[in-house]
Structure 1
Amino acid sequence: MEGVSDRLWDRTRRRVQEEVVDAALTLFLEQGFEETTVDQVVAAAGISRRSFFRYFGTKEDIVFGDLAEQGPVILAALRERPDDEPIWDALGHALSVLSTRMSPERGIAIGRLVVTSPALRAAHLEKHLRWQQVLAPEVERRVGIGDAPPGLVGEAIVATVLACLDAATAAWLDQGSDDLEELRRLTYVALAAVRQRTTS
């Protein structure tokens, strides 16, 4: 019975988290992230401050959820790619797993918030730095490092791919698209541009 109780608690927890996120994103888009207080979020979601901090460590966590902790998920997807696949393609495919973990509507809302909020841009950068550290060893196993110190080549390549993803996301938002396939296409266009200019 304990297993059943745990599953029920997990479902309840996820449902409450989703309700808080929906209420918070609406306020953030209407008022701005910095201008919206936790008190306003809990009032809109109909929960207490204590409950809020049971589900979210910070206000930034409402926006990014567990995205910062998705490095191992991306790493697992990267390890499933063939070793002889160009690293740019392998990383692009690996990062695409993130699109399955979020609806297009929420992705658009988060993207718009990040470009307008200094606090969220800083949190976004921190998320990328964590991903770089997790992915760098696997990247270096595939491409080698030559005379470079461990970590340099891998983090540089991952940082470049993430910059392409950010540039593609900005273009996707400018288009007003809600098609995740279009976001993937724009990401590969950005990656192709980098590859052409760095190998020519």
Structure 2
Amino acid sequence: MSAVPAGDPSGPTDERAPAPALAGLRERKKQRTRFALLDAALELFLAQGYEETTIDEIVAAVDVSQRTFFRYFATKEDVVTSFLAEHDDVLTEALATRPRGERPFTALLESLRVMLRTIAEGDPADGTRFRRVRQVIEATPSLMAAQMARHSASAETLAAEIARREGVDLEHDLRPRIVVAFFLAAVKVAFEDCARHDIWDAGTVASRVEEAVALVAQTMRDWI
């Protein structure tokens, strides 16, 4: 049998390593399934209530199995909270890569810009999803509690990273937690202001949040 010339497309391929195009197709399919579950769940939560909606109803709306649901979400609560937690992860990862020596609040602001760009350049439907997530959380006491726990965990993670960057002991130095508290308070105020004015476009929300965080430094200089 003659050897197959190198580079001959008719030669054997390594089936263990899918072609990049195939791998990309699989990822897009997984992302579509995840968003379909998220969108169906939010629609049901708003129509009949979070507590009243079952996982069976969610998977039936998308025509998938419960097994498929649990590939993407650990619990029903995770359907709502994971959408916001993903943004927390982007912020934390961006902060860890900021240049050494950058002032803490500046590092947080620049990391926020990365997160906001990710939102603004992402799926255009994310604005609608974010609005629905907020509506479901605000109408559900158990989800409000979960949101507060997520917020506290995120604040602690950011404070730990600031402490690491500054070379201080988080257990005995309050400054990392203080600067993170100011930062997250500005983000919260900006998001709530957008919600009050029914602003959900990702780009506009990003601009409003960035403006609010930048205003913190000026407010602290002028008012404190």
TM range (shorter): 0.7 to 0.9
Q: Contact 1:105–1:178 (CA<8 Å) still a contact in 2?
A: yes
> Match for residue 163 of structure 1?
185
C-alpha separation in 1, matches of 2:209 and 2:152: 19
Q: Using a 3 Å threshold, how does the CA distance of structure 1 residues 188 and 55 change in structure 2: closer, same or farther?
A: closer
CA distance in 1, matches of 2:53, 2:182: 33
In structure 2, the residue corresponding to 1:3 is in which secondary structure?
coil
SS state of the match for residue 65, structure 1? helix
TM-score using structure 2 length: 0.71
Decide whether aligned partners of structure 1 residues 160 and 60 sit closer, same or farther in structure 2, where only a CA change above 3 A counts.
Answer: farther
Counterpart code for 1:73: V
CA separation in 2, counterparts of 1:188 and 1:18? Answer: 27
Q: Per-residue deviation at 1:87?
A: 3.1
Q: Which amino acid aligns with 1:170?
A: E
Q: Residue 20 of structure 1 is aligned with which of 37, 53, 74? A: 37
Within 5 Å, give how 1:169-180 maps onto structure 2.
169-180=191-202
In 2: Cα distance, 1:59 partner to 1:17 partner = 13
CA change 1:93–1:180 in 2 (3 A) is farther
Looking at structure 2, the residues matched to 33 and 153 of structure 1 have their Cα atoms a distance apart, in angstroms, of 39
1:67 deviates by 4.2
Residue in structure 2 matching 1:73, options 69, 78, 90 = 90
Identity of aligned residues (%): 35
Ranges in structure 2 where 5+ consecutive residues have no aligned partner:
1-14
Deviations 1:43-67 (A, max 9, x none): 2121222322232111122123364
Contact between 1:145 and 1:153, CA under 8 Å: does it hold in 2? Answer: no
Q: Which amino acid aligns with 2:149?
A: E
- More helix per residue: 1 or 2? 1
Q: Tell me the distance in 2 between the aligned counterparts of 1:78 and 1:153.
A: 17
Q: Which amino acid aligns with 1:130?
A: A
Residue 24 of structure 1 deviates from its aligned partner by 1.1
- CA displacement 1:8-35 (0-9 Å, x = unmatched): 5444322211111111111122223223
DSSP 3-state at the match of 1:4 = coil
Q: What residue in structure 1 maps to residue 16 of structure 2?
A: 2
- Residue of structure 1 equivalent to 2:63: 46
Residue of structure 1 aligned with 2:175, choices 149, 153, 167:
153
In the superposition, relative to structure 1, how do residues 87 and 56 fare at CA in structure 2: closer, same or farther (>3 Å)? Answer: same
Aligned to 1:63: 80
Q: Partners of 1:54 and 1:83 in 2: how far apart?
A: 38
Q: Considering only aligned residues, what root-mean-square deviation do their CA atoms show, in Å?
A: 3.1
Asked if 1:126 corresponds to 2:149, the answer is: yes
Pair 1:186 & 2:208 matched: yes
Q: TM-score, normalised by structure 1?
A: 0.78
SS in 1 for 2:51: coil
What is the one-letter code of the residue matched to 2:61? A
Separation in structure 1 between the aligned mates of residue 176 and residue 86 of structure 2, nearest angstrom: 19
Alignment of 1:94-105 (within 5 A): 94-99=111-116, 100-101=118-119, 103-105=126-128
